[in-house]
Amino acid sequence: MKKLMFAGLAAAMLLPIGLFAAGSQEKSAPVGKVVTYFANSKYYSDNTTVTRNEAFEKATGIKVEMQLVPGEDEDFYDKTDIAIMAGDTTDCIRLTNPLNIARYVQAGFLLPLDGLLKKAGYDAEAVYGKFLKRHDGKLLYLPYEQSIHSVYYNKAIFKNAGLPFPKAPWTWDDYTAAARKLTDRERGIYGSYFVLDWEYYYYTIARQRGVSGYKPDGSSNYDHPDFREALKFLNDLGEVHKVQPTFKEYRAKKLGWDTWAATGQYGLICIGSWFTGLLTDPVTYPREWDWGIVETPAAGPKGKNNLMAGGVWAVLKNAKHPEAAARYVAWVSENSFRYAGGIPARVNLSAQEVQDLLGGIAQKSNGSVSVTDLDSALLHNGLGVVDEKISGPKAREYSDIIKQEGTLYLSGEQSLEDTLRNIKSRADKILKG
Amino acid sequence: MQAQAFIEGGPALGPPLPKAGADRISRILPKRRRGFGGEQRTALLFIAPFFVGFLLFNLLPLFYSLFLSLVDFNTLGEVRTDRFMGLKNYLRIFGDRLALASYARSIYFSLIYVAGIILASLFLALLLNQDLFLRTVSRTMIYLPYVANVIAIGIVWAIVLNPFEGPVNALLKLAGVPEQARPQWLLGVASSLPTVAAIKVWQNLAFQTIVFLAALQEVPRELYECAQIDGAGWWRRLTRITLPMISPTMFFLIVVTIIGSFNSLALVKALTNGGPGSATRIITLFIYEQAFKYSYYSYATAQACLLFLFILAVTLAQWRAQKRWVHY
């Protein structure tokens, strides 16, 4: 009896360990015929993601399995950081933020692709050309998009306000004037919308003028007057001109990055070209109004630059199926735009293919925009290009400092001067190490 | 005599030993030695699963954390624990204004939360100890927030306390409170931390209330009857009978509540994520960010160990102070 009890207790102790081990085993196809990647909760069941993965499976015979990581944006990367450090064998990851790309490169999380792509007979230079970035001579990721900012506008709101559609070239003053005329608080219409959670909007004007976040000596450059002007401009849109939700309203109503596309209550938004993916997805973002597109306003004579960023796909250093992963990364980087919209970071598209690409977006827009509209707003505008974000040493902490102090100013809890001084002093402290 | 009983082998100690060996044993072993017999072994086997889990998931991580806090593992990448730093991570805390501010915020949060929940739960327990109409329903309603999901709580309270369109400020507006005087609740720098503390009080009332209720029901009714006969009012009965009689329970609840008050990461993340600015960036959230956002793993672990020592010191101080007010 006692031996039986002992055996039972031992089994009870070992059972959780066994279940845990079983749960972490690969559950499907043999090595080489499956590829896994970390997917956040938003994209796990997203219509375009599923369609894209099915297309890859059909084209290559390699099964795609997503490893769900709860959370979005930084919460997602907080978890993948730990998983990778703990030796997780997931194959690929999509890095959407230049700050995270820099972190993962520095951490050594990414597997060099040169050998794998050569083995697969894939010429990345021919496809991506100038968009490829090497680190110590190694190719660590492939870009799947070039995210070019432009202003999207709600045509219905413009028509109701009796206003002509915005035309380039224009400035942020023109933008504000248009937003004022569009705003109708009684009907709940705001002329402008900025995603106030994203701190790079706090210094857009400064970046457009090519102002760096760092001085030559490595300290913070946040005492530059353009940063002051940029933050004041954003604040004044809500608090002074009252053409967009104030920061407190934004937070109280839990507004988000896709609110403009989801609600149709806002006239203008300045955002990256990946946004065309939302505007051409009638399943996730059904709408009854047409949209237009025009190039980003200039920030004065020295600010005739567009903001640019780009997402990448990479193979992780512990990948269990590196060859299949390299094939997936290459395929999805080349073809992502066909499913999710946006502009690919490719140099091997012919003029006709580019026109077809823009034509595809125009067609999916159900007549909202034409190929000419998209071409002049995104590709052939009169603007130069700058990185949308401050990137450099301790960039993530620097961004968080800008966000924390900036939100105090936007909430009316702190003066502009105190905000800029605090950003400068806190950033200098972390940059000093 | 006890040694003799041992030597002769009482019924619980197994068969009798040979006399020479028994003499040696009786000189060596304590008088009341218990053998490692079948029952003890079975008992050990029953507590082994818990003990193994405690060892693997509590004790070992605790010691590993202590080790991590003494090395230089403060970058994202390969796990490297070979650079010993001694107490440098701890000393860094005392030069970090933001870390110290987070500790201060946590203490402030704890003061509001502990006072609020002890008073509120005692009040509720006193009410529920009466023969009230709908007492069972009231008990269920008090218990519901305790089992609710913290994210759901965050969403609901964000709607209720919306300073622009929420029902609370709408009622204040109806009551004639001017806009400048209406609180910003979760969006105000000064109001956000007390608001989060109040929501946590609401969320956790059930446990304290139930424990207080159990203690109140153990207070002999005769004491109240005698006090009433002697002309004692409700306040004297409360302060001279009820509180002293339930003081051991109150002591227990204050200790566990203080410990629990420093662990509010989930609620703060759900409600404010540390904002506005850093107004609700309590130490547990600060530690989480230092570790998982900025990859300062050793530095974050040092902060966690320091927090542990602080809570331990507070608990020990309370333990010593209980002699003054806890009546057993």
Q: What's the structural domain count of chain B?
A: 2
Domain range spanning residue B6? 2-68
Longest CA span, chain A: 90
Q: In this complex, which of B158, B189, B293 lies closest to A254 when CB atoms are compared? A: B158
Residue B90 falls within a domain, yes or no? Answer: no
Mean of pLDDT values over A410-415: 93
The share of chain A scoring above pLDDT 90, in percent, equals 75
Q: In this complex, which of A2, A397, A407 lies closest to B277 when CB atoms are compared? A: A407
Name residue B104's beta-bridge partners.
none
Chain B: closest CA distance from residue A406 (Å): 8
| A12/B164 Cβ within 8 A | no
Strand, helix or coil for residue A35: strand
- B81 CB-contact burial (10 Å; exposed 0-12 / middle 13-18 / buried 19+): middle
Residues B110 and B57 in one domain: no
Residue B262 falls within a domain, yes or no? Answer: yes
N residues, chain B? 328
Question: Taking CB atoms and an 8 Å cutoff, what residues of chain A touch B162?
Answer: 252-253
Question: Taking CB atoms and an 8 Å cutoff, what residues of chain B touch A82?
Answer: 292
Residue B295 falls within a domain, yes or no? Answer: yes
**CA angle at B133 for the pair B132 and B135, rounded to the nearest 5°:** 70
Q: What is the ipTM of this complex?
A: 0.82
Per DSSP, A40 falls in state E
Q: For position B246, what pLDDT does the model report?
A: 94
H or E element in which residue A356 lies: helix A351-364
Residue B79 falls within a domain, yes or no? Answer: no
Residues B44 and B113 in one domain: no
Q: For position B131, what pLDDT does the model report?
A: 75
Mean of pLDDT values over A65-86: 91
Name residue A266's beta-bridge partners.
A190
Residues B141 and B58 in one domain: no
Helix, strand, coil abundance in chain A, percent, nearest 5: 50, 15, 35
Q: For position A71, what pLDDT does the model report?
A: 84
The domain that holds B152 is classified in CATH as: 1.10.3720.10
Q: Note the pTM of the prediction, 2 decimals.
A: 0.83
Residues B321 and B226 in one domain: yes
Residue B51 falls within a domain, yes or no? Answer: yes
Question: Taking CB atoms and an 8 Å cutoff, what residues of chain A touch B100?
Answer: none
Residues B219 and B285 in one domain: yes
Residues B102 and B220 in one domain: yes
Residues B127 and B30 in one domain: no
pLDDT by residue (tens digit) across B232-282? 898 998 999 999 999 999 999 999 999 999 989 999 999 999 989 899 999
| Domain end position, chosen among B28, B53, B68 | B68
Mutate to test the interface with A, among B44, B45, B57 (most CBs of A within 10 A): B45
Q: For position B20, what pLDDT does the model report?
A: 58
| A400/B164 Cβ within 8 A | no
Residues B28 and B122 in one domain: no
Chain A: closest CA distance from residue B152 (Å): 14
Q: For position B252, what pLDDT does the model report?
A: 95
Chain B: closest CA distance from residue A285 (Å): 23
Residues B137 and B47 in one domain: no
Q: Which residues of A263-295 are buried (b: 16+ CB within 10 A; e: fewer)?
A: ebbbbbbbbbbbbbbbbbbeeebebeebbbbbb
Q: For position B23, what pLDDT does the model report?
A: 62
Residues B48 and B197 in one domain: no
Chain A: closest CA distance from residue B34 (Å): 20
Residue B76 falls within a domain, yes or no? Answer: no
Chain B: closest CA distance from residue A164 (Å): 33
Q: In this complex, which of A109, A251, A413 lies closest to B189 when CB atoms are compared? A: A413
Residues B55 and B192 in one domain: no
Residue B86 falls within a domain, yes or no? Answer: no
**Residue A363 corresponds to which tokens in the numbers above?**
């067609």
Residues B134 and B257 in one domain: yes
| B52/A13 Cβ within 8 A | yes
A70 preceded by a cis bond (ω within 30 of 0): no
Domains of chain A (ranges; CATH) run: 32-147+310-361 (3.40.190.10), 148-308+368-432 (3.40.190.10)
Per DSSP, A4 falls in state H
Q: For position B22, what pLDDT does the model report?
A: 56
Question: Taking CB atoms and an 8 Å cutoff, what residues of chain A touch B76?
Answer: 81, 85, 103, 106-107
Of the ranges A18-32, A87-101, B33-47, B73-87, which one carries the lowest mean pLDDT score? Answer: A18-32
Q: For position A103, what pLDDT does the model report?
A: 92
Amino acid letter, A354: V
Report whether pLDDT(A195) > 50. Answer: yes
Spatial contact of B281 and B105, defined as CB atoms under 8 Å apart: yes
Question: Taking CB atoms and an 8 Å cutoff, what residues of chain A touch B78?
Answer: 85, 108
Residues of chain B with pLDDT under 70: 1-36
Residue B208 falls within a domain, yes or no? Answer: yes
Spatial contact of A227 and A203, defined as CB atoms under 8 Å apart: yes
Residue of B nearest to A254 (CA): B158
Closest CA to B110 of B262, B247, B219, B217: B262
C-alpha to C-alpha distance for A269 and A166, rounded to whole angstroms: 12
